[in-house]
Structure 1
Amino acid sequence: MDLKDIFGLEGKVALVTGSTKGIGRATAEVLAQAGAHVIISSRNPDDCVAVAAELQQSGLSAEAHACHIGTPDAIDATETYLRETHSGLDILVNNAVLSPLRTIEDTDLGLFRKAVEVDLQGYWFMSAAAARLMKPRGGGSIVNIASVAALHPDRGLALYSTLKTSLIGMSRAFALEYGGENIRVNTVMPGLIETRLAEKYDDATRARMFANMCLPRLGQPEEVGYSVLYLVSPAAGYVTGAGLVIDGGLSVGLT
Protein backbone atom coordinates (compact mmCIF):
# COMPACT_ATOMS: atom_id res chain seq x y z
CA MET A 1 0.00 0.00 0.00
CA ASP A 2 1.20 3.52 -0.74
CA LEU A 3 0.77 6.35 1.75
CA LYS A 4 -2.40 7.59 0.08
CA ASP A 5 -4.02 4.22 0.72
CA ILE A 6 -2.58 3.81 4.21
CA PHE A 7 -4.13 7.08 5.36
CA GLY A 8 -7.12 6.97 3.02
CA LEU A 9 -10.71 6.49 4.14
CA GLU A 10 -12.42 5.94 0.79
CA GLY A 11 -15.74 4.16 1.20
CA LYS A 12 -15.83 4.58 4.98
CA VAL A 13 -18.76 6.05 6.89
CA ALA A 14 -17.76 8.20 9.85
CA LEU A 15 -19.93 9.71 12.58
CA VAL A 16 -18.41 12.60 14.51
CA THR A 17 -20.42 13.81 17.50
CA GLY A 18 -20.25 17.45 18.48
CA SER A 19 -18.99 18.26 14.99
CA THR A 20 -20.59 21.64 14.32
CA LYS A 21 -17.69 23.58 15.83
CA GLY A 22 -14.19 23.35 17.26
CA ILE A 23 -12.30 20.08 17.34
CA GLY A 24 -15.30 18.08 16.14
CA ARG A 25 -15.88 20.20 13.06
CA ALA A 26 -12.19 20.24 12.15
CA THR A 27 -11.94 16.47 12.64
CA ALA A 28 -14.99 15.85 10.46
CA GLU A 29 -13.47 17.96 7.69
CA VAL A 30 -10.13 16.14 7.92
CA LEU A 31 -11.83 12.73 7.69
CA ALA A 32 -13.90 13.91 4.74
CA GLN A 33 -10.75 15.17 3.01
CA ALA A 34 -9.31 11.68 3.48
CA GLY A 35 -12.28 10.25 1.57
CA ALA A 36 -14.79 9.33 4.26
CA HIS A 37 -18.49 10.08 4.10
CA VAL A 38 -18.91 12.12 7.26
CA ILE A 39 -22.06 12.47 9.34
CA ILE A 40 -22.18 15.83 11.08
CA SER A 41 -23.90 15.48 14.44
CA SER A 42 -24.75 17.67 17.43
CA ARG A 43 -27.83 18.63 19.42
CA ASN A 44 -28.87 21.42 17.02
CA PRO A 45 -30.32 20.19 13.71
CA ASP A 46 -29.90 23.56 11.98
CA ASP A 47 -26.21 23.72 12.87
CA CYS A 48 -25.70 20.17 11.56
CA VAL A 49 -27.34 21.05 8.26
CA ALA A 50 -25.28 24.24 7.91
CA VAL A 51 -21.92 22.54 8.52
CA ALA A 52 -22.77 19.58 6.27
CA ALA A 53 -23.70 22.03 3.51
CA GLU A 54 -20.39 23.86 3.91
CA LEU A 55 -18.46 20.61 3.50
CA GLN A 56 -20.56 19.62 0.50
CA GLN A 57 -19.84 23.00 -1.12
CA SER A 58 -16.14 22.19 -0.74
CA GLY A 59 -16.66 18.99 -2.69
CA LEU A 60 -16.64 16.72 0.35
CA SER A 61 -19.08 13.93 1.21
CA ALA A 62 -21.17 14.83 4.25
CA GLU A 63 -24.66 14.74 5.67
CA ALA A 64 -26.41 16.03 8.77
CA HIS A 65 -27.96 13.98 11.56
CA ALA A 66 -28.77 15.60 14.90
CA CYS A 67 -28.24 13.59 18.07
CA HIS A 68 -28.07 14.62 21.72
CA ILE A 69 -25.76 11.92 23.09
CA GLY A 70 -26.90 12.63 26.63
CA THR A 71 -30.30 11.17 25.68
CA PRO A 72 -30.42 7.36 25.32
CA ASP A 73 -33.43 7.50 22.97
CA ALA A 74 -31.46 9.76 20.62
CA ILE A 75 -28.59 7.27 20.53
CA ASP A 76 -31.02 4.44 19.78
CA ALA A 77 -32.56 6.50 16.97
CA THR A 78 -29.12 7.25 15.54
CA GLU A 79 -28.19 3.56 15.57
CA THR A 80 -31.40 2.73 13.68
CA TYR A 81 -30.77 5.56 11.21
CA LEU A 82 -27.23 4.41 10.47
CA ARG A 83 -28.29 0.80 10.03
CA GLU A 84 -31.15 1.69 7.69
CA THR A 85 -29.32 4.43 5.75
CA HIS A 86 -25.75 3.15 5.59
CA SER A 87 -26.04 -0.49 6.64
CA GLY A 88 -23.66 0.19 9.50
CA LEU A 89 -20.76 2.36 10.53
CA ASP A 90 -16.97 2.26 10.13
CA ILE A 91 -15.72 5.13 12.29
CA LEU A 92 -17.02 6.83 15.44
CA VAL A 93 -15.40 9.90 16.92
CA ASN A 94 -16.93 10.71 20.30
CA ASN A 95 -16.34 14.43 20.71
CA ALA A 96 -19.54 16.05 22.03
CA VAL A 97 -18.85 17.44 25.48
CA LEU A 98 -20.20 19.44 28.38
CA SER A 99 -17.29 21.30 29.98
CA PRO A 100 -18.44 23.12 33.12
CA LEU A 101 -15.98 25.54 34.70
CA ARG A 102 -16.79 25.22 38.41
CA THR A 103 -15.07 24.62 41.70
CA ILE A 104 -15.79 21.32 43.41
CA GLU A 105 -18.00 22.95 46.03
CA ASP A 106 -19.96 24.86 43.35
CA THR A 107 -20.69 21.66 41.43
CA ASP A 108 -24.26 20.82 42.33
CA LEU A 109 -25.93 17.45 41.79
CA GLY A 110 -27.90 18.64 38.75
CA LEU A 111 -24.78 19.78 36.92
CA PHE A 112 -22.93 16.62 37.95
CA ARG A 113 -25.64 14.38 36.52
CA LYS A 114 -25.92 16.42 33.32
CA ALA A 115 -22.16 16.24 32.73
CA VAL A 116 -22.11 12.49 33.37
CA GLU A 117 -25.00 11.99 30.94
CA VAL A 118 -23.06 13.63 28.12
CA ASP A 119 -19.38 13.09 28.91
CA LEU A 120 -19.51 9.46 30.07
CA GLN A 121 -22.91 7.86 29.63
CA GLY A 122 -23.23 9.26 26.12
CA TYR A 123 -19.76 8.09 25.08
CA TRP A 124 -20.38 4.63 26.53
CA PHE A 125 -23.72 3.95 24.85
CA MET A 126 -22.78 5.61 21.56
CA SER A 127 -19.67 3.41 21.46
CA ALA A 128 -21.72 0.30 22.21
CA ALA A 129 -24.14 1.22 19.42
CA ALA A 130 -21.23 1.85 17.05
CA ALA A 131 -19.72 -1.53 17.88
CA ARG A 132 -22.98 -3.26 16.98
CA LEU A 133 -22.98 -1.41 13.66
CA MET A 134 -19.32 -2.23 12.98
CA LYS A 135 -19.44 -5.97 13.64
CA PRO A 136 -21.26 -6.91 10.38
CA ARG A 137 -18.72 -4.81 8.43
CA GLY A 138 -15.77 -6.77 9.78
CA GLY A 139 -14.59 -4.13 12.24
CA GLY A 140 -14.13 -0.43 12.70
CA SER A 141 -12.51 2.27 14.76
CA ILE A 142 -13.69 4.34 17.72
CA VAL A 143 -11.83 7.39 19.02
CA ASN A 144 -12.83 9.06 22.27
CA ILE A 145 -11.77 12.69 22.63
CA ALA A 146 -10.61 13.14 26.21
CA SER A 147 -8.22 15.85 27.40
CA VAL A 148 -4.77 16.33 28.87
CA ALA A 149 -6.80 17.41 31.91
CA ALA A 150 -7.32 13.68 32.45
CA LEU A 151 -3.62 13.48 33.34
CA HIS A 152 -3.16 16.94 34.82
CA PRO A 153 -6.40 18.35 36.32
CA ASP A 154 -6.68 22.10 36.62
CA ARG A 155 -8.56 24.30 39.10
CA GLY A 156 -12.18 24.82 38.14
CA LEU A 157 -12.18 21.73 35.93
CA ALA A 158 -12.48 19.00 38.56
CA LEU A 159 -15.64 17.42 37.14
CA TYR A 160 -14.45 17.77 33.53
CA SER A 161 -11.07 16.25 34.45
CA THR A 162 -12.70 13.38 36.33
CA LEU A 163 -14.93 12.41 33.42
CA LYS A 164 -12.13 12.76 30.87
CA THR A 165 -9.98 10.46 33.02
CA SER A 166 -12.78 7.89 32.95
CA LEU A 167 -12.66 7.86 29.15
CA ILE A 168 -9.13 6.47 29.21
CA GLY A 169 -10.31 3.46 31.20
CA MET A 170 -13.43 3.13 29.11
CA SER A 171 -11.46 3.07 25.86
CA ARG A 172 -9.14 0.38 27.19
CA ALA A 173 -12.08 -1.73 28.38
CA PHE A 174 -13.87 -1.43 25.02
CA ALA A 175 -10.61 -2.20 23.17
CA LEU A 176 -10.27 -5.42 25.17
CA GLU A 177 -13.87 -6.53 24.74
CA TYR A 178 -14.20 -5.73 21.04
CA GLY A 179 -10.70 -6.55 19.80
CA GLY A 180 -11.85 -9.96 18.65
CA GLU A 181 -14.35 -8.22 16.37
CA ASN A 182 -11.52 -6.14 14.80
CA ILE A 183 -12.89 -2.99 16.43
CA ARG A 184 -10.12 -0.68 17.63
CA VAL A 185 -10.75 1.85 20.39
CA ASN A 186 -8.35 4.65 21.29
CA THR A 187 -8.27 7.92 23.21
CA VAL A 188 -6.98 11.33 22.14
CA MET A 189 -6.01 13.84 24.83
CA PRO A 190 -5.77 17.39 23.45
CA GLY A 191 -4.18 20.18 25.43
CA LEU A 192 -4.85 23.88 25.00
CA ILE A 193 -6.57 24.05 21.61
CA GLU A 194 -8.05 27.17 20.04
CA THR A 195 -11.70 26.42 20.91
CA ARG A 196 -14.45 27.90 23.07
CA LEU A 197 -13.04 26.11 26.13
CA ALA A 198 -9.68 27.85 25.65
CA GLU A 199 -11.51 31.18 25.52
CA LYS A 200 -12.49 30.66 29.16
CA TYR A 201 -8.87 31.00 30.26
CA ASP A 202 -7.74 34.52 31.13
CA ASP A 203 -4.39 35.92 29.99
CA ALA A 204 -2.66 35.05 33.25
CA THR A 205 -3.79 31.42 33.05
CA ARG A 206 -2.69 31.13 29.44
CA ALA A 207 0.71 32.63 30.29
CA ARG A 208 1.10 30.11 33.10
CA MET A 209 0.26 27.21 30.80
CA PHE A 210 2.50 28.48 27.97
CA ALA A 211 5.38 28.69 30.45
CA ASN A 212 5.11 24.93 30.98
CA MET A 213 4.79 23.99 27.29
CA CYS A 214 7.55 22.79 24.97
CA LEU A 215 5.62 24.46 22.12
CA PRO A 216 4.16 27.59 23.75
CA ARG A 217 1.15 28.26 21.55
CA LEU A 218 -2.47 27.27 21.13
CA GLY A 219 -2.98 24.08 19.18
CA GLN A 220 -5.24 24.23 16.15
CA PRO A 221 -8.38 22.06 15.96
CA GLU A 222 -7.24 20.46 12.71
CA GLU A 223 -4.06 19.27 14.44
CA VAL A 224 -6.27 17.10 16.63
CA GLY A 225 -8.12 16.02 13.49
CA TYR A 226 -4.90 14.80 11.87
CA SER A 227 -4.16 12.67 14.91
CA VAL A 228 -7.66 11.20 14.79
CA LEU A 229 -7.14 10.47 11.09
CA TYR A 230 -4.06 8.42 11.96
CA LEU A 231 -5.91 6.41 14.59
CA VAL A 232 -8.91 5.57 12.38
CA SER A 233 -6.84 4.85 9.24
CA PRO A 234 -5.18 1.58 8.16
CA ALA A 235 -1.87 3.13 9.27
CA ALA A 236 -2.93 2.46 12.89
CA GLY A 237 -4.22 -1.04 12.21
CA TYR A 238 -2.19 -2.44 15.13
CA VAL A 239 -3.05 0.36 17.57
CA THR A 240 -5.83 -0.12 20.11
CA GLY A 241 -6.33 0.74 23.76
CA ALA A 242 -3.83 3.58 23.36
CA GLY A 243 -3.91 7.20 24.49
CA LEU A 244 -2.40 9.90 22.30
CA VAL A 245 -1.49 13.21 23.94
CA ILE A 246 -1.63 16.30 21.70
CA ASP A 247 -0.70 19.17 23.99
CA GLY A 248 2.41 20.92 22.68
CA GLY A 249 4.41 19.27 25.42
CA LEU A 250 2.33 20.71 28.27
CA SER A 251 2.28 17.38 30.10
CA VAL A 252 6.06 17.17 29.80
CA GLY A 253 6.49 20.59 31.37
CA LEU A 254 4.14 19.71 34.22
CA THR A 255 5.92 16.52 35.24
Structure 2
Amino acid sequence: MTIKNPFDLTGKVALVTGSTMGIGEGTARVLAEQGAEVIISSRKQEQCDEVAEAFREQGLKAEGKACHIGRMEDIDAMYRHIRDRYGRLDILVNNAVLSPWRTIEDTDVGLFDKTVEVSLRGYWFMSTEAAKLMKTHGGGSIINIASVAALHPDRMLSLYSTLKTALIGMSRSFALEYGRDNIRANTILPGVFPTKLADAFDDEARRKILDKTALGRLGKVEEIGYAVTYLCSDAGAYVTGNNLVVDGGMTVGLM
Protein backbone atom coordinates (compact mmCIF):
# COMPACT_ATOMS: atom_id res chain seq x y z
CA MET A 1 0.00 0.00 0.00
CA THR A 2 1.38 3.39 -1.06
CA ILE A 3 0.78 6.21 1.40
CA LYS A 4 0.55 9.64 -0.23
CA ASN A 5 2.75 12.34 1.21
CA PRO A 6 0.41 15.33 1.77
CA PHE A 7 3.38 17.72 1.58
CA ASP A 8 4.51 16.51 -1.86
CA LEU A 9 4.55 19.32 -4.45
CA THR A 10 5.64 17.27 -7.44
CA GLY A 11 4.20 18.71 -10.65
CA LYS A 12 3.40 22.08 -9.09
CA VAL A 13 4.67 25.40 -10.44
CA ALA A 14 5.60 27.96 -7.80
CA LEU A 15 6.55 31.62 -8.11
CA VAL A 16 8.39 33.17 -5.17
CA THR A 17 9.07 36.90 -5.34
CA GLY A 18 12.13 38.35 -3.65
CA SER A 19 13.72 34.91 -3.73
CA THR A 20 17.37 35.61 -4.45
CA MET A 21 18.20 35.92 -0.73
CA GLY A 22 16.90 35.52 2.79
CA ILE A 23 13.42 34.21 3.51
CA GLY A 24 12.51 34.16 -0.18
CA GLU A 25 15.45 32.01 -1.20
CA GLY A 26 14.97 29.70 1.78
CA THR A 27 11.30 29.30 0.92
CA ALA A 28 11.97 28.64 -2.76
CA ARG A 29 14.53 25.99 -1.84
CA VAL A 30 12.12 24.14 0.45
CA LEU A 31 9.38 24.20 -2.21
CA ALA A 32 11.82 22.85 -4.79
CA GLU A 33 12.98 20.14 -2.38
CA GLN A 34 9.34 19.06 -2.08
CA GLY A 35 9.15 18.63 -5.85
CA ALA A 36 7.86 21.97 -7.12
CA GLU A 37 9.29 23.68 -10.19
CA VAL A 38 10.22 27.08 -8.80
CA ILE A 39 10.50 30.46 -10.49
CA ILE A 40 13.18 32.49 -8.73
CA SER A 41 12.32 36.17 -9.00
CA SER A 42 13.70 39.53 -7.92
CA ARG A 43 14.55 42.79 -9.65
CA LYS A 44 17.83 41.72 -11.29
CA GLN A 45 17.96 38.93 -13.85
CA GLU A 46 21.59 38.07 -13.13
CA GLN A 47 20.85 37.35 -9.47
CA CYS A 48 17.80 35.29 -10.40
CA ASP A 49 19.87 33.21 -12.81
CA GLU A 50 22.61 32.63 -10.23
CA VAL A 51 20.22 31.28 -7.62
CA ALA A 52 18.29 29.18 -10.14
CA GLU A 53 21.53 27.68 -11.44
CA ALA A 54 22.62 26.81 -7.90
CA PHE A 55 19.29 25.05 -7.38
CA ARG A 56 19.63 23.07 -10.61
CA GLU A 57 23.15 21.99 -9.69
CA GLN A 58 21.58 20.38 -6.62
CA GLY A 59 19.06 18.51 -8.75
CA LEU A 60 16.18 20.91 -8.11
CA LYS A 61 13.85 22.36 -10.75
CA ALA A 62 14.19 26.12 -11.02
CA GLU A 63 14.45 29.00 -13.44
CA GLY A 64 15.22 32.67 -12.91
CA LYS A 65 12.88 35.42 -14.12
CA ALA A 66 13.33 39.04 -13.06
CA CYS A 67 10.26 41.01 -12.01
CA HIS A 68 10.05 44.35 -10.23
CA ILE A 69 6.63 43.99 -8.63
CA GLY A 70 6.37 47.76 -8.24
CA ARG A 71 6.08 48.02 -12.03
CA MET A 72 2.85 46.91 -13.66
CA GLU A 73 4.64 46.19 -16.94
CA ASP A 74 6.93 43.75 -15.15
CA ILE A 75 3.96 41.97 -13.60
CA ASP A 76 2.32 41.66 -17.03
CA ALA A 77 5.54 40.31 -18.53
CA MET A 78 5.95 37.75 -15.75
CA TYR A 79 2.49 36.30 -16.27
CA ARG A 80 2.86 36.22 -20.04
CA HIS A 81 6.01 34.20 -19.48
CA ILE A 82 4.30 31.82 -17.06
CA ARG A 83 1.37 31.25 -19.40
CA ASP A 84 3.66 30.65 -22.39
CA ARG A 85 6.16 28.38 -20.62
CA TYR A 86 4.07 26.51 -18.05
CA GLY A 87 0.42 27.17 -18.84
CA ARG A 88 -0.33 27.12 -15.13
CA LEU A 89 0.63 28.48 -11.72
CA ASP A 90 -0.14 26.53 -8.57
CA ILE A 91 1.65 28.53 -5.87
CA LEU A 92 2.38 32.24 -5.47
CA VAL A 93 4.48 33.41 -2.55
CA ASN A 94 4.50 37.20 -2.29
CA ASN A 95 7.69 37.99 -0.41
CA ALA A 96 9.45 40.92 -2.14
CA VAL A 97 9.25 44.05 0.01
CA LEU A 98 10.56 47.53 0.73
CA SER A 99 11.38 48.15 4.38
CA PRO A 100 11.98 51.87 4.95
CA TRP A 101 13.60 52.58 8.31
CA ARG A 102 12.06 56.01 9.00
CA THR A 103 10.02 57.89 11.54
CA ILE A 104 6.47 58.78 10.53
CA GLU A 105 7.36 62.45 10.04
CA ASP A 106 10.39 61.58 7.91
CA THR A 107 8.29 59.44 5.57
CA ASP A 108 7.71 61.76 2.62
CA VAL A 109 5.16 61.26 -0.15
CA GLY A 110 7.72 59.88 -2.60
CA LEU A 111 8.90 57.17 -0.22
CA PHE A 112 5.32 56.41 0.80
CA ASP A 113 4.18 55.94 -2.80
CA LYS A 114 7.22 53.84 -3.75
CA THR A 115 6.71 51.55 -0.77
CA VAL A 116 3.00 51.12 -1.43
CA GLU A 117 3.71 50.31 -5.09
CA VAL A 118 5.86 47.35 -4.06
CA SER A 119 4.56 46.21 -0.68
CA LEU A 120 0.82 46.48 -1.32
CA ARG A 121 -0.06 47.26 -4.94
CA GLY A 122 2.49 44.73 -6.17
CA TYR A 123 1.13 42.01 -3.90
CA TRP A 124 -2.43 42.81 -4.98
CA PHE A 125 -1.84 42.59 -8.72
CA MET A 126 0.56 39.66 -8.51
CA SER A 127 -2.21 37.85 -6.65
CA THR A 128 -4.93 38.98 -9.05
CA GLU A 129 -3.04 37.66 -12.07
CA ALA A 130 -2.19 34.47 -10.21
CA ALA A 131 -5.85 33.90 -9.36
CA LYS A 132 -6.89 34.35 -13.00
CA LEU A 133 -4.43 31.66 -14.02
CA MET A 134 -5.18 29.35 -11.11
CA LYS A 135 -8.89 29.37 -11.98
CA THR A 136 -8.10 27.77 -15.34
CA HIS A 137 -6.67 24.57 -13.85
CA GLY A 138 -8.61 23.88 -10.70
CA GLY A 139 -7.17 26.17 -8.05
CA GLY A 140 -4.00 27.08 -6.22
CA SER A 141 -2.52 28.76 -3.19
CA ILE A 142 -1.51 32.39 -2.58
CA ILE A 143 0.66 33.13 0.43
CA ASN A 144 1.53 36.66 1.52
CA ILE A 145 4.59 37.07 3.72
CA ALA A 146 3.76 39.75 6.27
CA SER A 147 5.41 40.20 9.68
CA VAL A 148 4.65 40.17 13.39
CA ALA A 149 5.06 43.93 12.98
CA ALA A 150 1.51 43.80 11.62
CA LEU A 151 0.40 42.92 15.16
CA HIS A 152 3.07 44.75 17.14
CA PRO A 153 4.41 47.76 15.20
CA ASP A 154 7.85 49.06 16.03
CA ARG A 155 9.34 52.54 15.96
CA MET A 156 11.08 53.43 12.68
CA LEU A 157 8.98 50.77 10.92
CA SER A 158 5.58 52.47 10.90
CA LEU A 159 4.98 52.34 7.14
CA TYR A 160 6.32 48.80 6.94
CA SER A 161 4.03 47.74 9.80
CA THR A 162 1.02 49.50 8.27
CA LEU A 163 1.37 47.71 4.94
CA LYS A 164 2.00 44.36 6.58
CA THR A 165 -1.27 44.83 8.47
CA ALA A 166 -2.98 45.54 5.16
CA LEU A 167 -1.82 42.16 3.83
CA ILE A 168 -3.88 40.40 6.47
CA GLY A 169 -7.03 42.04 5.14
CA MET A 170 -5.97 41.38 1.58
CA SER A 171 -5.46 37.65 2.16
CA ARG A 172 -8.82 37.34 3.86
CA SER A 173 -10.53 39.17 0.98
CA PHE A 174 -8.92 36.99 -1.68
CA ALA A 175 -9.77 33.88 0.35
CA LEU A 176 -13.42 34.88 0.40
CA GLU A 177 -13.70 35.92 -3.22
CA TYR A 178 -11.81 32.99 -4.75
CA GLY A 179 -12.65 30.17 -2.35
CA ARG A 180 -15.24 28.63 -4.66
CA ASP A 181 -12.54 28.45 -7.33
CA ASN A 182 -10.45 26.31 -4.94
CA ILE A 183 -7.95 29.13 -4.54
CA ARG A 184 -6.70 29.59 -1.01
CA ALA A 185 -5.05 32.72 0.37
CA ASN A 186 -3.19 32.93 3.67
CA THR A 187 -0.72 35.18 5.45
CA ILE A 188 2.47 34.19 7.25
CA LEU A 189 3.75 36.53 9.95
CA PRO A 190 7.45 35.88 10.56
CA GLY A 191 9.26 37.07 13.64
CA VAL A 192 12.94 38.05 13.49
CA PHE A 193 15.05 36.16 10.98
CA PRO A 194 18.63 36.76 9.77
CA THR A 195 17.67 39.15 6.94
CA LYS A 196 18.67 42.64 5.84
CA LEU A 197 15.82 44.09 7.91
CA ALA A 198 17.11 42.39 11.06
CA ASP A 199 20.53 43.95 10.42
CA ALA A 200 18.96 47.33 11.21
CA PHE A 201 18.62 46.32 14.87
CA ASP A 202 21.65 47.06 17.03
CA ASP A 203 23.04 44.52 19.48
CA GLU A 204 20.97 45.81 22.39
CA ALA A 205 17.73 45.74 20.41
CA ARG A 206 18.48 42.23 19.19
CA ARG A 207 19.21 41.07 22.74
CA LYS A 208 15.88 42.49 23.94
CA ILE A 209 14.07 40.69 21.14
CA LEU A 210 15.71 37.37 21.97
CA ASP A 211 14.99 37.87 25.68
CA LYS A 212 11.29 38.15 24.82
CA THR A 213 11.31 35.20 22.42
CA ALA A 214 10.19 31.94 24.01
CA LEU A 215 12.66 29.83 22.01
CA GLY A 216 15.48 32.31 22.60
CA ARG A 217 16.82 32.35 19.04
CA LEU A 218 16.34 33.88 15.61
CA GLY A 219 14.38 31.91 13.06
CA LYS A 220 15.97 29.96 10.22
CA VAL A 221 14.82 31.00 6.76
CA GLU A 222 13.87 27.45 5.82
CA GLU A 223 11.39 27.44 8.71
CA ILE A 224 9.26 29.92 6.77
CA GLY A 225 9.59 27.56 3.80
CA TYR A 226 8.19 24.71 5.88
CA ALA A 227 5.23 26.87 6.91
CA VAL A 228 4.64 27.85 3.28
CA THR A 229 4.79 24.19 2.25
CA TYR A 230 2.08 23.33 4.74
CA LEU A 231 -0.19 26.10 3.49
CA CYS A 232 0.27 25.40 -0.23
CA SER A 233 0.21 21.59 -0.09
CA ASP A 234 -2.63 19.12 0.39
CA ALA A 235 -1.76 19.14 4.09
CA GLY A 236 -3.26 22.63 4.32
CA ALA A 237 -6.10 22.10 1.86
CA TYR A 238 -8.75 23.24 4.36
CA VAL A 239 -6.88 26.35 5.53
CA THR A 240 -7.67 29.71 3.96
CA GLY A 241 -8.05 33.29 5.09
CA ASN A 242 -5.77 32.54 8.02
CA ASN A 243 -2.72 34.12 9.63
CA LEU A 244 0.14 31.84 10.67
CA VAL A 245 2.59 33.41 13.12
CA VAL A 246 6.10 31.91 12.86
CA ASP A 247 8.12 33.80 15.45
CA GLY A 248 9.54 31.36 18.00
CA GLY A 249 7.07 32.68 20.55
CA MET A 250 8.15 36.32 20.30
CA THR A 251 4.63 37.71 20.30
CA VAL A 252 3.82 35.64 23.37
CA GLY A 253 6.51 37.57 25.20
CA LEU A 254 5.12 40.89 23.95
CA MET A 255 1.61 40.33 25.25
Tell me, in whole angstroms, the C-alpha distance in 2 between the residues paired with 1:50 and 1:169: 35
* SS of the residue 1:6 aligns to: coil
Change (3 A) 1:114 1:215: same
The aligned residue for residue 65 of structure 1 is 65
What is the correspondence of 1:117-196 to structure 2 with a 5 Å cutoff?
Answer: 117-196=117-196
Tell me, in whole angstroms, the C-alpha distance in 1 between the residues paired with 2:44 and 2:216: 34
What is the correspondence of 1:31-110 to structure 2 with a 5 Å cutoff?
Answer: 31-110=31-110
1:114 aligns with 2:108: no
Percent identity between matched residues is 62
**CA offset at residue 5 of structure 1?**
2.2
1:231 aligns with 2:234: no
Tell me, in whole angstroms, the C-alpha distance in 1 between the residues paired with 2:160 and 2:184: 25
* Aligned AA (1:169): G
Change (3 A) 1:209 1:3: farther
1:26 aligns with 2:30: no
* Aligned AA (2:252): V
* Aligned AA (2:237): G
**CA offset at residue 2 of structure 1?**
6.9
1:212 aligns with 2:212: yes
Tell me, in whole angstroms, the C-alpha distance in 1 between the residues paired with 2:210 and 2:38: 34
* Aligned AA (1:108): D
**What does the per-residue CA deviation read over 1:193-217, in whole Å, with 9 as the maximum and x for residues that have no partner?**
0111111100111111112111111
* Structure 1 stretches of at least 4 aligned residues deviating more than 2 Å after TM superposition: 1-5
Tell me, in whole angstroms, the C-alpha distance in 1 between the residues paired with 2:77 and 2:88: 13
Gap regions ≥5 residues in structure 1: none
The aligned residue for residue 8 of structure 1 is 8
Tell me, in whole angstroms, the C-alpha distance in 2 between the residues paired with 1:6 and 1:211: 36
* Aligned AA (1:247): D
Aligned-residue RMSD, C-alpha:
1.1
**What does the per-residue CA deviation read over 1:102-140, in whole Å, with 9 as the maximum and x for residues that have no partner?**
111111111100000000000000000000110111000
The aligned residue for residue 252 of structure 2 is 252
Change (3 A) 1:3 1:118: farther
Gap regions ≥5 residues in structure 2: none
Instruction: State how many pairs are aligned.
Output: 255
Tell me, in whole angstroms, the C-alpha distance in 2 between the residues paired with 1:96 and 1:118: 8
Tell me, in whole angstroms, the C-alpha distance in 2 between the residues paired with 1:225 and 1:97: 17
Change (3 A) 1:2 1:29: farther
